[in-house]
Structure 1
Amino acid sequence: MDVICCATEENESARSSLQLQSTARATSEVEKRMQQSPVQVVSRRIVKPPPRPRERVPLTTWDLSLLSADYIQKGLLFAPPPCFSTFTHLVDHLQAALADAIATYYPVAGRLAIDRHHDDEGHVVGCSVSVDCAGQGVEVLEAVADGVVVADVVPPDADVPSVVRSLFPLNEAVNYDGHERPLFVVQVTQLADGVFVGFVYNHALSDGTAFWNFINAWAEIARARLSSPAPGGGACVLASRTPPLFERWSPDGSGAAAPVVLPYADIEGLIVRPTLPPPPQRDRMLHFSAESLAALKERARQELLAAGDTAGAAAVTSFQALSSLLWRCFVRARRTAPDQEVVFRASANNRGRLRPPLPAEYFGNAINAVSTEAVRASELLARGHGWAAAAVGRAVAAHTDAGIRALAAAWAAKPGLLAFRLFDPNAMFISSSPRFDMYGCDFGWGKALAVRGGKANKYDGKVSLFPGREGGGSIDAEVVLTPEHMLALEQDDEFWAAVSPDVQPATK
């Protein structure tokens, strides 16, 4: 059997073809209705924090490398909240709670500022970027999606519908645009039988860890306002959370980081934006239960033990096992040439890996991409699930304090602004994390029905990991592939044997 291709049996192809036709018909019907029920923004509001002394928060290595990347787009789908008389009343409530949240997380309400630096003779020698914390404000959009129901947003066993992209604003913005656009915009959309809260957040401001800490803080305030409104409508205070740390990390350990002076007079010309319409892509949310992940992990462990790799077997994790499955199945789906070298990459949190570690409340970017060593496609597939899981484990284990500092030094020697814009057709990339407390974001009317992402930062081979709604270690994977590659993945029996049925939560 050819190790590059799979599911070539006639009966398997016929079965898969029928399944795909059914899925395509269901998706097509949803898309038709979406065209008849566009999302309409009915109001825009600027929300500002209380006045405070103006300050600058300098962007450093990890922040600056993201200036060409898209804003973060993540959102939560809820059943209809029973505690509001009107939808506008709900938006008013979220707006008031957000005003309290940005009183603490005040850089979120700022804008990016670019400063030019001169030598003694007045010549420009470079520029730096900071967050200007002057209370410019965040934006809240109120929107209505007439005729769109929860089932249209999260259809079972189908691609993510295009209407989901309409639930997020700033679809064309990159992080560099934060000097003119808000660093945070939220769109609250009323569905026929639910509410979608779409968050759009400038990634140069912070990573996903800090982003979800901020969203959870906002949700905590919203809950408190419902259960025990502040006297006289005053601000609710976050008493249960450690305050965020805005001081940026300095690689030399000398204390607060100074602004990084980039060796460019102007950086606008270095910002990379898509100039052509993106190629067609399909986006699916796939569920992996705790039991399925445990089985993948045990299979990897047994293969490693059989190969004599006891250390690798002892260290294997659910993340490694899921990454191995995705990596190998993507290589098969792409029908990668046997001699072509392929790599696996993932975003890693630097906080606990640094010595001394950064505190959990560090509010900035503290991430790097870790990568396996390149391996020929045929070798990856021939060596199997356990070997690939161990390869991912070695890449993660190698990301130590010394490695992080070496990466920071290399970036400082040759600053780049292209992180996550360097698409590699022979690689895959995993971002986000099932450790983020997405379903803990209860704004006062219960747990979200689902988490969804917008169109930002998506390309062939990109996977975002979310916690499964039922918890217990389950994971949802947002998989993005070209139509051709997704079609091949849908015919991969090894892959679909690990995918679990996604139980749709009731909206009532």
Structure 2
Amino acid sequence: MAETLPVKPNTPFSDDIIKLSTLDQQAQRHYAKVLAFFRIGHAGKRDPVIRELRRGLAISLSEAPDFVSQVVPVPGSTRKELQLQLGPDSAVPWRVVDYTQQDPSEPDNLWGYGSYDDMAARHFSVTDIPPERLVDPACLHIPDDAQEVPALAIQVNLIRGGLILAICWHHTVCDARSLNFLANAWARHTAASLTTHSEPSGAAQPGSEEAGERWRLNIGTRGATLADLPDYKVDAAARSPLSAGSTHLHDRIDPVAVPFVISTWYFSAAALQSLRSVLEAASAAGESFTTVEAVSALAWRHVTRARFLPRGGDGDGAGPLEGTSLFSTRLDFRARLRPPLPGDFIGNVCEPNARARVALSEVCAPGHGPLAALASAIRGATEAVDDDAVRAHIGIVNELPAVTDLTWGYDLFPGPDLGVTDLSGLDSLRADWGRRLGAPECVRLATRENGLVYIFPVDRDGGFEVQVQCEAEAVEKLQRDGEFTEYAAFVV
């Protein structure tokens, strides 16, 4: 049986409203779901580490009140706008599910996916585990008539030999960088509590004064049009909920018509350095590429070849490829704005996406030179996302009938467009949660997004995992692709 007891911030808040920026309003309206795996011996729901996790979260919420709010519609708005609502009773839903106790009379509590060691042997694959077993069901099924939803929800899953911490947050509240700020504070306070074995002092460490200045992302270019934002479109129906009477707290979930699988690959530190060296040597302009640029180029080429070339992804015997492939990636451009936003800024800072459109024949062309050209195209696309581009994006949204009317004009699945979400800069796998928990052994996503390649946080050895969604046949081709597997080791 699940145990539920909401976590209140260590310092209660008065009634207040946090206004969301234009970019927040335009963000995807769904719950992002992160799973952190910790190896730990425990005695069930009463284990002291559960209490210390609650204490650490309570202090952290005092530092970042946005996460203890409720997401609600803006009263009287005709543009589908949302805001965050705080009050003295604000709390984060907290759920502890003890899967170590197998009681046949409680089928919802039965766990058929093995111990922590069993999951580790399967490289912590969660693709066969229904999300409702790992995350708070309230984040999965939003009633059409809901008038508010929590900004954050936590579920602690206890399995034999370990703990799976599920952190779910409404994407309108913030991006992954902001969530990382909360997670680091939570880890820091939990570690301190586990070390001192004392009641928390409540000494919150709030962010910088500029961290809450969401209004800075309301200022857009007047007169901006879609000509300033190629590959986006205005479509009022694209994200609207299925129910016409909904308050639009959650975007529609469109079914995926083409069957797919999710595969995970590991790039070691040595493989990453080797790939960068090869691309630098092959670059016509002598460019030195970042790790993410190099891996993104490799994924763009080889995933596309595996999906669209007739024979095994090596190009032999393939007919001419027609059309183009659009590469897109979500950026954290805090430092690119003028003036820059601080690193601890809470909000969404990842639209517009960086985009590069290249002929399919060039994407799939063999050789190190064409691969370096793809990396160069990715660099050019990311450098183009500057303050002007962001302000144009904001300006277009500000003039639309509804803030959700602007959407991507490309299809990541079944393609041939490809999107990358880069999480490698987050220190999730290096954060110390204290002597009983340590650092997470692995991070996974319970979110399913069509056609995306996820680059996971860098581990302590300097490597990282990459998760790819594509057809099963394409994964088989990738496994036989000698150039791809020279750098990427298949995990699961």
Q: Normalised by the size of structure 2, how large is the TM-score?
A: 0.79
CA offset digits 1:151-204 (Å, max 9, x no partner)? 443445796441273322346357999853322111111111111111111111
Aligned residue number for residue 104 of structure 2: none
Q: Is 1:416 aligned to residue 404 of structure 2?
A: yes
The alpha-carbon distance between structure 1 residues 141 and 251, as it changes in their structure 2 partners (threshold 3 A), is closer
> Of the candidates 159, 167, 175, which is equivalent to residue 207 of structure 1?
175
Whole-Å Cα distance in 2 between the matches of residues 162 and 130 of structure 1?
35
Shift of 1:104: 2.0
Whole-Å Cα distance in 2 between the matches of residues 103 and 63 of structure 1?
21
Give the fraction of aligned pairs with identical amino acids, expressed as a percent: 21
CA offset digits 1:138-158 (Å, max 9, x no partner)? 111111334621244344579
Worse-superposed segment, 401-410 or 287-296: 401-410
Gaps of 5+ in 2: 101-111, 221-235, 310-319
> Of the candidates 408, 429, 444, which is equivalent to residue 439 of structure 1?
429
Q: Is 1:181 aligned to residue 141 of structure 2?
A: no
Shift of 1:328: 0.4
Structure holding more helix per residue: 1
Aligned residue number for residue 116 of structure 2: 150
Aligned residue number for residue 452 of structure 1: 444
Shift of 1:344: 0.9
For residues 62-461 of structure 1, the aligned pairs below 5 Å read 62-68=23-29, 70-81=30-41, 87-117=46-76, 126=79, 128-134=81-87, 135-146=89-100, 148-156=114-122, 160-163=126-129, 165=131, 166-170=133-137, 172-173=140-141, 179-230=147-198, 233-239=199-205, 242=208, 245-251=211-217, 268=247, 272-274=251-253, 276=255, 279-304=258-283, 307=284, 309-310=285-286, 313-314=287-288, 316-335=289-308, 338-382=321-365, 384-414=370-400, 415-416=403-404, 423-424=411-412, 425-444=415-434, 445=436, 446-454=438-446, 456-459=447-450, 461=451
> Of the candidates 42, 56, 67, which is equivalent to residue 2 of structure 2?
42
CA offset digits 1:63-83 (Å, max 9, x no partner)? 111243x3111121111157x
Aligned residue number for residue 107 of structure 2: none
In structure 2, the residue corresponding to 1:64 is in which secondary structure?
helix
The alpha-carbon distance between structure 1 residues 86 and 402, as it changes in their structure 2 partners (threshold 3 A), is closer
The alpha-carbon distance between structure 1 residues 114 and 241, as it changes in their structure 2 partners (threshold 3 A), is closer
Counterpart contact for 1:223–1:443, Cα < 8 Å: yes
CA offset digits 1:209-266 (Å, max 9, x no partner)? 1101101101111111121244xx3444244965782231335769xxxxxxxx9998
Whole-Å Cα distance in 2 between the matches of residues 234 and 384 of structure 1?
56
CA offset digits 1:399-418 (Å, max 9, x no partner)? 11112212221222333357
The one-letter amino acid of 1:488's match is: K
CA offset digits 1:434-466 (Å, max 9, x no partner)? 111102332212121111111x2422x311222
Q: Is 1:60 aligned to residue 21 of structure 2?
A: yes
Counterpart contact for 2:56–2:193, Cα < 8 Å: yes
The one-letter amino acid of 1:458's match is: E
Whole-Å Cα distance in 2 between the matches of residues 328 and 381 of structure 1?
5
Counterpart contact for 1:343–1:371, Cα < 8 Å: no
Whole-Å Cα distance in 2 between the matches of residues 497 and 280 of structure 1?
27
The one-letter amino acid of 2:294's match is: A
The alpha-carbon distance between structure 1 residues 244 and 172, as it changes in their structure 2 partners (threshold 3 A), is farther
How many residues are treated as equivalent by the alignment?
436
The one-letter amino acid of 1:169's match is: D
Counterpart contact for 1:109–1:138, Cα < 8 Å: yes
Whole-Å Cα distance in 2 between the matches of residues 389 and 222 of structure 1?
41
